Chain A
């Protein structure tokens, strides 16, 4: 069963190294760190991370975000479990004298972004316990997502679920997906559902609309809805904004009883 769940977005810029000398959206990074800390507080048997991928599949729990895919040539030395900030130079810049990023195993595709970000957040929280990295087909029907969620909840007596994904990408003319008037209402509906612990409302999100709005979190949220099916968890929203036109939602859900 699910002892606690958290929602976090998956912008690559959550990896501190990617934004260069400037610390971009530290408040979002802090909110994610706090949510993951809450997620881990009940000492779960396993942490399941779910995020969108090209297909539904379990990934190697040892895999990590492929930094070189987003920042080739980046020089960082990040040991697992060590926050990037702990290695920053006095100027606040990422360590410039570190090793070039390990290019990874040739021919092996990296983790889907959402799982890579989830793995990163767990590492940064210092979590070294068992983890499941579960990709869900970004366009999977809601019923498949709900079923996957129920299976994840049954994986262990005490499962913590980290659902990683983003809201719409069309919140304004400067947004990556340009403006779509349906974007803000969609994101507001998601936030309302999470705030109310209303799992059926998440289960009812329209996959076609989500696809139109480039809301990559829809499938992961419906996995969450399946995993917490029949409960009405209490929620704490830690971040809900779209500073770059992409909706980021950070929340923690705790089931009752």
Chain B
């Protein structure tokens, strides 16, 4: 069931099950002082919880909590990562028993701690750098995101990456990771694949992956699209990070059309609207209220 053109099935995350035609918004809540977009805005635990309330109210299906920025910078030890993330995950779990909580981490010690605190999904952004993360997912019945970062090590930037065929490289990597996860005992209905735009890629690579996203969704694994305000959007439309929403939503719409199922987003409300619009165009969702020309 790992390779080839599979029929997409339901995705199980936490206590919930999502059919293939349901497009999910994964709201980003960073427990960091230095992430690339609005750095430090949710560094304070109270502010972070407020953002969770807002994201849920705006239609988020999944929360993605991160304690370590992707970009290079001051070291964040495992202990510090746990200190940043675990109490917060516990607080969110207490406030929202059914909300799907994802944690963006690549280290199994942090993965274990957040699973104990109630996390449902391990967003292993650095492509299985630490293979024990999959074992933790299996042990706790959690989900796992299998990503592609090319040749990168965690928290590094791409330097002149090149691929004979970037999509082939992505497919090889994420399918291999998914297979490894299944062998480790992760529930196949809880595995997600992510081409990881920008990670180990230049803008052309990320555009190509967006254009050819259908090849990823055709595998049948649920695809996570993580494009929100990223550099490839900024380079493409020539906009700084604060002005990348329109570009992000364009990527979102194309990705949704091509069958991606999870959309990692800073802007929950706008992403939800864009996804609902695509769903209605596809015929998966009726309009909220249609009266024009029907009276």
Q: Is B287 an interface residue (CB 8 A)?
A: yes
Residues of chain B lying within 8 A (CB to CB) of residue A24: 289-291
B contact residues, range: 10 to 19
Residues of B within 8 A of A17 (CB): 286
Closest to B290 in A: A20
Asked whether any CB of chain A lies closer than 8 Å to the CB of B284, the reply is yes
Residues on B with C-beta less than 8 A from A13 are 290-291, 294-295
**Complex Cα distance A20/B285, Å?**
8
- Cα–Cα, bound, A235→B285 (Å): 42
A246: chain B residues at CB < 8 Å are: 295
In A222-257, the 8 Å CB interface with B consists of 243-246
Compute how far the CA of A10 lies from the CA of B290 in the bound complex, rounded to whole angstroms: 16
**In A93-117, which residues have CB < 8 Å from any B CB?**
93-94, 96, 100
Contact A93 B286 (CB under 8 A): yes
A18 touches B285 (CB 8 A): no
Q: SS class of chain B's interface: helix, strand, loop or mixed? A: loop
Q: Which of A11, A96, A244 contacts B284 (CB 8 A)?
A: A96
In the complex, which residues 1-33 of chain A have their Cβ closer than 8 Å to any Cβ of chain B? Answer: 11-13, 17-22, 24
Contact in complex: B289, A19 (CB < 8 Å) = yes
A20 touches B287 (CB 8 A): yes
- Can you spell out 29 A-B residue pairs with CB atoms less than 8 angstroms apart? A12-B293, A12-B294, A13-B290, A13-B291, A13-B294, A17-B286, A18-B290, A19-B287, A19-B290, A19-B291, A20-B286, A20-B290, A21-B286, A21-B287, A21-B288, A21-B289, A22-B288, A24-B289, A74-B283, A74-B286, A75-B283, A93-B285, A93-B286, A94-B286, A96-B285, A96-B286, A176-B293, A176-B295, A243-B295
The verdict on A73 contacting chain B, using a C-beta distance below 8 Å, is yes
Q: Which residue of A lies closest to B295 (CB)?
A: A244
Shortest A176–chain B CB gap in Å is 6
Residues of A near any B CB (own CB < 8 A): 11-13, 17-22, 24, 70-71, 73-75, 93-94, 96, 100, 176, 243-246
In the complex, how many angstroms separate the beta carbon of B9 from the nearest chain A beta carbon? 15
- Minimum CB distance partner of A245 in chain B: B295
When A13-B294, A13-B295, A244-B295 are in contact, do A100 and B283 touch as well, CB less than 8 Å?
Answer: yes
Q: Which residues of A contact B289 (CB under 8 A)?
A: 19-22, 24
Q: Which residues of the other chain, A, contact B284 by a CB distance below 8 angstroms?
A: 96
Residue of B whose beta carbon sits closest to that of A176:
B295
Docked complex Cα distance between A17 and B295 (Å): 14
In the bound complex, residues from chain A placing their C-beta under 8 Å from that of B286 are: 17, 20-21, 74, 93-94, 96
Residues in B with CB closer than 8 Å to A75 are 283
Q: From A75, which residue of chain B is reached at the shortest CB distance? A: B283
Over the window 272-289 of chain B, the binary record of Cβ atoms lying under 8 Å from chain A Cβ atoms (1 yes, 0 no) is 000000000001111111
Instruction: Name the residue of chain A whose CB is nearest to the CB of B284.
Output: A96
What's the minimum C-beta distance from B273 to chain A, rounded to whole angstroms?
14
Residues of chain A within 8 A (CB-CB) of B295 are 11, 13, 176, 243-246
Chain A minimum-CB-distance residue to B289: A22
CB proximity of B73 to chain A, nearest CB, Å: 44
Residue of A nearest to B287 (CB): A20
Cα A19 to Cα B287 in complex, Å, equals 7
Q: How far is the CB of B59 from chain A (nearest CB, A)?
A: 14
Known: A22-B289, A70-B294, A75-B283. 5 other contacts (CB 8 A): A11-B295, A21-B287, A21-B289, A24-B289, A24-B291
Q: Taking CB as reference atom, which chain A residue is nearest B19?
A: A97
Q: Is the CB of A19 within 8 A of B283?
A: no
How many Å lie between the Cα of A66 and that of B287 in the bound state?
A: 19
Q: Which residues of B contact A245 (CB under 8 A)?
A: 295
Chain A residues with Cβ under 8 A from B294's Cβ?
11-13, 18-19, 70
A51→B18 CA distance, assembly (Å): 45
Contact of B283 (CB < 8 Å), options: A21, A73, A176: A73
What is the CA–CA distance of A114 and B263 in the complex, to the nearest angstrom?
44
Question: Could you tell me the distance in whole angstroms from the C-beta of A70 to the nearest C-beta in chain B?
Answer: 7
Q: Which residue of B lies closest to A9 (CB)?
A: B295
Minimum distance in angstroms from B10 CB to a CB of chain A: 13
Q: A74 vs B290: C-alpha distance in the bound complex, in angstroms? A: 12
CA–CA, A11 to B293, complex, Å? Answer: 9
Residues of B within 8 A of A19 (CB): 287, 289-291, 294
Question: How far, in Å, is A15 (CB) from chain B's closest CB?
Answer: 9
Q: Residue on B with the closest CB to A244?
A: B295
Docked CA distance A93–B289 (Å): 10
A18: B residues at CB distance < 8 A:
290, 294
Rounded to whole angstroms, the CA-CA distance of A183 and B294 in the bound complex is: 19
* CB-CB nearest in chain B for A242: B295
CA gap between A33 and B283 in the complex, in Å: 29
How far apart are the CA atoms of A29 and B217 in the complex, in Å?
A: 42
Cα–Cα, bound, A96→B286 (Å)? 8
Rank and list the top 3 A-B pairs by shortest CB-CB distance, nearest first: A244-B295, A22-B289, A20-B287
Chain B residues numbered 244-295 whose CB sits less than 8 Å from any CB in chain A: 283-291, 293-295
The smallest beta-carbon distance between B281 and chain A, in angstroms, is 9
Minimum CB distance partner of A17 in chain B: B286
**Residue in B285, B287, B291 whose Cβ sees the most chain A Cβ within 10 Å:** B291
In the complex, what distance in Å separates the CA atom of A199 from the CA atom of B295? 27
